[in-house]
């Protein structure tokens, strides 16, 4: 069995905009020796090979700053007429399931993914989508991770495409770009050009009517077969949060 890591590295990157920048303080081993001395153990009684322990502190990291999964609470206070679930309430049995990759690498930046695109991709894939399937949308925009362009580049899943997935029984899905919808500036420009108040964040807002969970900022989807693998999603159990960083892996037989 081959394990494919679908999660981006968590590290400081000065090219990231401030709202998604991660900062980690790495503490040296000698700090551990000093702490033990403060607790009362003389240096002369410390084991010869005890150099102390390394430690690390995440000093800044938003829950949406790296590979993560969004909860319905992220989309609004209610979902399907009930209180929207927060991330620790995700059913873990829905976090493991058969995976399928739908190739959207042909879609240009700012071009919306439509149900017709998904129909064509599914036919080309040769697989099936049903309840429990974890659908991964491959855009190829993970190639821009680490650059200033990352959050500005991408296609996007709108309301129609998101409902297409949910109609097939999908509850967990994901994409390998910064966000599920079109990049913000494309959404705003289109809303202004068409003078419409229903376009912004439309893929996310589907979750106000129909609960679902989507992953953003996945990587390595190109390393997966079209279908015939399993996906495992392990979000941090952050009580009351709108999302959580997740270690996402695929198991390929």
Residue 88: what are its φ and ψ, rounded to 5°? -70, -10
The pLDDT of residue 165: 98
Q: pLDDT category, 94, cuts 50, 70, 90?
A: very high
Q: pLDDT per residue over 109-139, tens digit each?
A: 999 999 999 999 999 999 999 999 999 999 9
| Domains of the chain, residue spans | 23-60, 68-252
The pLDDT of residue 30: 93
| Domain over 68-252 is classified CATH 3.50.30.50 | yes
The pLDDT of residue 234: 95
In this prediction, residues 217-221 reach a mean pLDDT of 98
The pLDDT of residue 181: 98
Mean pLDDT of all residues belonging to the chain: 97
In this prediction, residues 209-216 reach a mean pLDDT of 98
How do strand 134-138 and strand 156-157 relate by DSSP bridges? unpaired
Q: pLDDT category, 143, cuts 50, 70, 90?
A: very high
In this prediction, residues 154-181 reach a mean pLDDT of 98
- In a 10 Å sphere around its CB, with 0-12 CB exposed, 13-18 middle and 19+ buried, how is residue 173 labelled? buried
- In a 10 Å sphere around its CB, with 0-12 CB exposed, 13-18 middle and 19+ buried, how is residue 212 labelled? buried
In this prediction, residues 29-39 reach a mean pLDDT of 94
Residue with tokens 């992953």: 215
Q: pLDDT per residue over 100-111, tens digit each?
A: 999 999 999 999
Q: How far is CA 19 from the centre of its chain?
A: 16
In this prediction, residues 208-218 reach a mean pLDDT of 98
Element (DSSP H or E) covering residue 72: helix 72-75
**DSSP at 85:** P
End-to-end CA distance of the chain: 5
- In a 10 Å sphere around its CB, with 0-12 CB exposed, 13-18 middle and 19+ buried, how is residue 98 labelled? middle
pTM given for the model: 0.95
- In a 10 Å sphere around its CB, with 0-12 CB exposed, 13-18 middle and 19+ buried, how is residue 94 labelled? middle
């Amino acid at each position: 069995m081959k394990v494919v890591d679908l999660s981006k590295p968590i590290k400081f990157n000065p090219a990231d905009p401030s709202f998604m920048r991660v900062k980690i303080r790495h503490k040296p081993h000698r700090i551990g020796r000093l702490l033990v001395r403060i607790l009362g153990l003389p240096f002369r009684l410390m084991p010869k090979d005890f150099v102390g322990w390394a430690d690390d502190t995440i000093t800044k990291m938003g829950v949406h700053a790296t590979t993560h999964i969004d909860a319905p609470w992220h989309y609004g206070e209610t979902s399907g007429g009930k209180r929207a679930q927060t991330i620790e309430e995700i059913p873990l049995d829905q976090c493991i399931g058969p995976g399928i990759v739908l190739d959207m690498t042909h879609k240009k930046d700012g071009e919306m993914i439509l149900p017709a695109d998904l129909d064509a991709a599914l036919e080309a894939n040769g697989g099936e989508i049903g309840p429990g399937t974890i659908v991964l949308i491959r855009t190829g925009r993970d190639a821009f991770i680490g650059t200033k362009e990352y959050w500005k580049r991408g296609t996007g899943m709108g309301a129609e495409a998101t409902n297409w997935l949910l109609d097939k029984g999908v509850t967990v899905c994901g994409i390998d770009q910064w966000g599920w919808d079109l990049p913000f500036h494309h959404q705003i420009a289109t809303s202004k050009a068409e003078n419409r108040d229903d376009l912004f964040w439309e893929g996310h807002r589907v979750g106000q009517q129909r609960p679902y969970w989507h992953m953003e900022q996945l990587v390595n989807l190109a390393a997966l077969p079209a279908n015939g693998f399993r996906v495992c999603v392990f979000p941090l159990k952050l009580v009351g949060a709108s999302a959580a960083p997740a270690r996402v892996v695929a198991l390929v037989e």
